[in-house]
């Protein structure tokens, strides 16, 4: 499997996400020798991914065959507002300090956690506005630097002079700096960790970003074996599903050796028969507010490149903004 994944990566191919059954092949044996595997996959290149950003492959039921039919569809998904995500490059921006200072200067007469939440919301709004503005500015700067380099190269080919050569070197340095910023922004969005620094492949990054966005869309859901892609029904179905789980005494059959039907009739008072293993002294130690050095140690150990939490802020943000937060 590692060789297969290496082949896909080296060929700059992307796997198309699927809808339907997880497995595409079965040996059709009876008894314990029966095997299901996902042998069949649909791959596309960068051009195909950009031309068909909503491409999916549907795994149809197996009928008189060991393989299931696979049907590609360009499924038009419903667009939802994009979630906020903090980008690492913002910590090196000249406006980072100003945004943090203004956000943490807000005075609110609410509990500390609510205050933190409100200040983070203010940061979200400020960083989102800056991102829209700076993204457009960065694109225009890259285009301007590229045109300047092209003009200077043509000029030097006809008449060589040192001033034009110095201007060309400065323009090349500026373009390199701008492309590094663009690479950092796209790398954060694509969350591709295995590329080395300097591997500027913006088309690949854009394809990865589109694929990750497609994976977050709920195109199909299977309640009681039925399929639906209607966004108006996904919300109520999800609420009903989790309400049934969370309102039962034993939400999952894995929490109790009995079946779910049997365990649901058992009272949660059974927990009173479980002997206490934690002493009062140990409980007091576990419940006491953490010291600052413990908090800072936990923050420093956060993976700066891991997926952000529900608030959109990564570990890199909290490390860079710790002087304002504390």
pLDDT 10s digits, 162-218: 888 899 899 999 988 888 777 777 666 655 554 444 455 555 555 666 666 665 556
Residue 139 predicted with pLDDT over 50: yes
Residue 8 lies in a domain: yes
CB 95 within 8 A of CB 75: no
Domain check: are 113 and 173 in the same one? yes
Calculate ∠ Cα 246-252-256, nearest 5°: 125
> Is position 30 within any domain?
yes
- Could you report the per-residue pLDDT of 275-300, keeping only the tens digit for each? 878 888 998 988 988 888 898 999 88
What's the rounded mean pLDDT across residues 16-32? 87
Query: 55 with 16: CB under 8 angstroms?
Result: yes
* Residue 314 falls inside a structural domain: no
Which of 47, 76, 105 delimits the end of a domain? Answer: 76
Whether the pLDDT of residue 308 is over 60: the answer is yes
Kindly report the length of the chain.
326
User: Is 173 contained in some domain?
Assistant: yes
Domain's final residue, options 16, 44, 76: 76
pLDDT of residue 269: 65
Is there a single domain that holds both residue 144 and residue 261?
no
Q: Rounded to an integer, what is the distance from CA 128 to the centroid of its chain?
A: 17
Q: Are residues 3 and 65 in the same domain?
A: yes
CB-based burial of residue 274 (10 Å sphere; 0-12 exposed, 13-18 middle, 19+ buried)? exposed
Both 53 and 106 in one domain: the answer is: no
Percent of the chain with pLDDT over 90: 10
Asked whether residue 60 falls in the same domain as residue 96, the answer is: no
**41-100: pLDDT as tens digits:** 999 988 888 788 788 888 888 887 899 999 998 866 666 667 788 888 788 888 889 999
Q: Do residues 308 and 84 touch, judged by C-beta distance below 8 A?
A: no
Whether 39 and 69 map to the same domain: the answer is: yes
- Check whether residue 14 and residue 36 sit in a common domain: yes
If you search the block for the tokens 């007091």, which residue do you land on? 284
Same-domain check for residues 59 and 143: no
| 52 & 119 share domain | no
pLDDT for residue 239: 83
**Total number of domains in the chain:** 3
Phi, psi of 282 (to 5 degrees): -65, -40
For 215-242, what is each residue's pLDDT tens digit? 555 655 555 655 566 667 777 877 887 8
Same domain, 212 and 114: yes
Is the model's pLDDT at 255 over the cut of 80? no
The stretch 253-279 carries a mean pLDDT of 60
Residue 105 sits in the same domain as residue 179: yes
In this prediction, residue 183 carries a pLDDT of: 73
Q: DSSP letter string over 85-115? A: ---GGGGGSTTHHHHHHHHHT----S-HHHH
Answer yes or no: do 93 and 211 share one domain.
yes
Q: Is residue 172 part of a domain?
A: yes
DSSP secondary structure string for all residues of 172-217: HHHHHHHHHHHHHHHHHHHT--SSPTT---HHHHHHHHHHHHHHTS
Buried b (16+ CB within 10 A) or exposed e, 5-26: eeeeeeeebbebebebbeebbb
Question: How many Å apart are CA 73 and CA 38, to the nearest integer?
Answer: 19
- Count CB atoms within 10 A of the CB of residue 295: 14
Question: What pLDDT does residue 24 have?
Answer: 92
**Residue-number span of the structural domain to which 247 is assigned:** 229-266
Is 3 a domain residue? yes
Q: Which of 80, 178, 120 is nearest to 308 (CA)?
A: 120
What does the alpha-carbon distance between residue 127 and residue 131 come to, in Å, rounded to a whole number? 6
- Average pLDDT (304-321) is 84
Q: How far is CA 146 from CA 152, 178, 236, 296, in A?
A: 10, 11, 51, 44
- 278 Cβ neighbours under 8 A, 6+ residues apart: 286
pLDDT band at 249 (very low <50, low <70, confident <90, very high): low
Euclidean distance between CA atoms 272 and 253, whole angstroms: 20
The mean predicted confidence, pLDDT, of the chain is: 78
State the CB neighbour count (10 A cutoff) for residue 82.
Answer: 9
How far, CA to CA in Å, does 150 sit from each of 146, 164, 180, 218, 253? 6, 12, 20, 46, 67
Which residue, of 76, 111, 140, is where some domain finishes?
Answer: 76
């Amino acid at each position: 499997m590692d060789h297969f994944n290496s082949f896909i990566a080296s060929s700059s191919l992307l796997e198309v996400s699927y809808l339907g059954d997880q497995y595409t092949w079965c040996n059709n044996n009876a008894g314990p020798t029966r095997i299901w595997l996902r042998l069949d996959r649909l791959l596309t290149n960068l051009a195909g991914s950009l031309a068909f950003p909503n491409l999916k492959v549907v795994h149809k039921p197996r009928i008189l065959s060991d393989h299931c039919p696979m049907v590609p569809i360009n499924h038009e998904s419903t667009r939802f507002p994009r979630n906020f995500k903090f980008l690492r490059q913002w910590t090196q921006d000249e406006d980072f300090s100003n945004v943090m200072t203004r956000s943490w200067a807000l005075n609110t007469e609410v509990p500390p956690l609510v205050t933190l939440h409100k200040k983070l919301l203010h940061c979200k709004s400020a960083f989102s506005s800056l991102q829209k503005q700076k993204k457009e500015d960065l694109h225009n700067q890259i285009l301007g630097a590229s045109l300047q380099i092209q003009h200077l190269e043509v000029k030097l080919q006809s008449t060589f002079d040192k001033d034009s050569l110095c201007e060309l070197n400065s323009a090349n340095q500026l373009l390199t700096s701008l492309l590094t910023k663009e690479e950092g922004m796209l790398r954060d969005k694509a969350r591709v960790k295995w590329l080395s620094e300097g591997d500027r492949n913006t088309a690949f990054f854009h394809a990865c970003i589109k694929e990750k966005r497609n994976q977050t869309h709920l195109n199909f859901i299977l309640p009681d074996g039925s399929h639906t892609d209607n966004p108006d029904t996904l919300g109520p179905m999800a609420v009903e599903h989790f309400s049934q789980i969370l309102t039962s005494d034993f939400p999952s059959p894995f929490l109790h050796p009995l079946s779910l039907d049997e365990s649901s009739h058992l009272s949660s008072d059974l927990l009173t028969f479980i002997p206490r293993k934690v002493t009062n002294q140990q409980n007091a130690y576990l419940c006491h507010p953490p010291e600052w050095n413990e908090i800072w140690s936990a923050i420093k150990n956060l993976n700066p490149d891991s997926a952000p939490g529900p608030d959109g802020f990564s570990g890199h943000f909290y490390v860079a903004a710790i002087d304002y937060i504390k």
